[in-house]
Amino acid sequence: MTTPSKKPAAGLVLNRRAALLSGAAATLGASALSRATPALAQDASAPATPGSTAFSVEPQPIYSLPHDHRFHGGDFYKKNDFSEWQYFTALGTDTETGEKISMFVCPFRIGWRGDTQSKATPFNFAFSNLDTQEFYSANTLWDGDYTGEATDPDSDDFGFTYRIALGENAFEFSYDHATETWRYAGHCDIDDEFNSPYAFDVTFTVKAPGYIPAAYHGLENIGWDDAGPGYRHNPQTMAGLTRYIQAPRADLTGTVTVGGRTYTVEAEAWYEHQWGNFRYVQQSFYFWGYMRMDDGTAFTWRQYYKDADWGDFDSGMTRFQVIHPDNTVEYGFGPSFRYTADEPWTSPKTGQKYPWRGTMETPLGTFYFTPAFEEQETPSNIPGSAFIEGVGHIHADGPDGPVVGTGFVEMVAIHLIEDQMPFGDLDHDKLYMDFTKVNR
């Protein structure tokens, strides 16, 4: 693979041969900075050091980086409940015109396809010109699974490349550990109700605070289970749970071609990688996002709803995180964050409702959320479903008050119809209840 020449910025919280977490994430324990591979999710503990009769001295980080930057597989994740994505969003400008833009690129690996003996590989792309209020999006379902190559994950020059295609259309992304640089590049000429043609080639380099867990306990719980006894999340099988890391600050440059023109982009990116056995109906209505405030503070959240009316939500599932200007990190959950939607906006294209305006109560204060513009909706090739991948603002002193932050949001209302999904039958009942190894 090609090794980028760009070097890490000064002051990065980086440890090339270790799990890469910020100092404020040390609530996970000092062992989180160990390079050793952590115990698998289904193991009760790491093995004791040979000769030790009392204590396990093996470090047990929740994440092992850079190893965990790769896609995940094996029998443990050969489940139809499995979902994994590692994506970025970016807010920036076209350097030639000064127009403000946003970008979203998200490769998935989902479920287990019996016909191909591989995971399904959908892909989402979205791009907004915030000045002209133009929006372009695509839902590509690539053919087969990703292929690629990697160097030794224990070496300083560790890196990998994944690639995939659909006819003449293609996508690939790569990672270089020595410089903490990612490259995403792809092109697709499909033009239909679900896809606008696109081409892009961008790179971004991660800055401090590096990669941090999205939730204070290292895992994010996803959804709830109305069909069963309630919250049946199972860390032994990762049912209803995800491993979830993010890099909230990264410098991005590159080109994007949409709508008949090419943009030369400089932007600040936000990277996330999430995986687990959690794909079931009740995780499919949520409001996720992040805001970058004028004073350099950033914060991120996710709030889960029980239906697509965006009214009834479960605050027990909510998570919240603050990244301060000095890159220290704080976490919150439950009622520490609460978003109350005003009358939802109804899409004229799909009839889907979205909570585009509302009041955001946070540990940093109360803000009022509005869209940069409303029609940033991506129609889904899942029947009856659609979602928002777009830009919004937070205001002080009321919805018409001064803008104090801008960020990227995702509003998901996916109506899963299992017999119309290309991922096989769900098997989460077994994953919920498989405690036999520890309960006998």
- Please give the pLDDT value at position 205: 98
Q: Quick one: CA torsion of 292, 293, 299, 305, rounded to 10 degrees?
A: -90
Token pair of 42, please?
Answer: 């289904």
Pair 149, 187 in one domain? yes
| End position of a domain, from candidates 283, 305, 324 | 283
Query: Which residues, at least 6 apart from 163, have a Cβ–Cβ distance to it below 8 Å?
Result: 146, 147, 148, 170, 171, 172
- Please give the pLDDT value at position 398: 95
Pair 391, 269 in one domain? no
| End position of a domain, from candidates 221, 249, 283 | 283
Pair 278, 290 in one domain? no
233 Cα distance to chain centroid: 20
333: enclosing H helix or E strand? strand 329-333
Mean pLDDT of the chain: 81
* pLDDT, greater one: 59 or 134: 134
Query: Which residues, at least 6 apart from 48, have a Cβ–Cβ distance to it below 8 Å?
Result: 55, 56, 57, 58
Range of the domain at 334: 285-415
Instruction: Assess if residue 39 is contained within a domain.
Output: no
- Please give the pLDDT value at position 436: 38
Segment 147-205, tens digit of pLDDT: 999 999 888 899 999 999 999 999 999 999 999 999 999 999 999 988 999 999 999 99
Instruction: Assess if residue 421 is contained within a domain.
Output: no
Segment 35-79, tens digit of pLDDT: 233 333 333 344 445 555 567 677 778 899 999 999 998 888 877
Segment 247-286, tens digit of pLDDT: 999 999 999 999 999 999 999 999 999 998 876 545 578 8
CB atoms within 10 A of CB 299: 26
Segment 232-246, tens digit of pLDDT: 677 888 877 889 999
Give the chain's domain count: 2
Instruction: Assess if residue 90 is contained within a domain.
Output: yes
Instruction: Assess if residue 194 is contained within a domain.
Output: yes
- Contact in structure between 81 and 277 (CB atoms under 8 Å): yes
Pair 271, 314 in one domain? no
- Contact in structure between 20 and 211 (CB atoms under 8 Å): yes
How far is Cα 233 from Cα 217, in angstroms, rounded to an integer? 14
User: Among 136, 132, 112, which Cα is nearest to 124's?
Assistant: 136
CB atoms within 10 A of CB 338: 18
pTM (2 d.p.): 0.84
Pair 337, 248 in one domain? no
Q: Quick one: CA torsion of 397, 402, 404, 410, rounded to 10 degrees?
A: 90
Pair 279, 299 in one domain? no
Flag whether pLDDT at 293 surpasses 70: yes
Instruction: Assess if residue 68 is contained within a domain.
Output: no
Note the helical H segments in 301-439.
428-433, 436-439
How far is the CA of 246 from the CAs of 25, 126, 348, 369, in angstroms?
Answer: 12, 19, 34, 23
CATH number, residue 263: 2.40.370.10
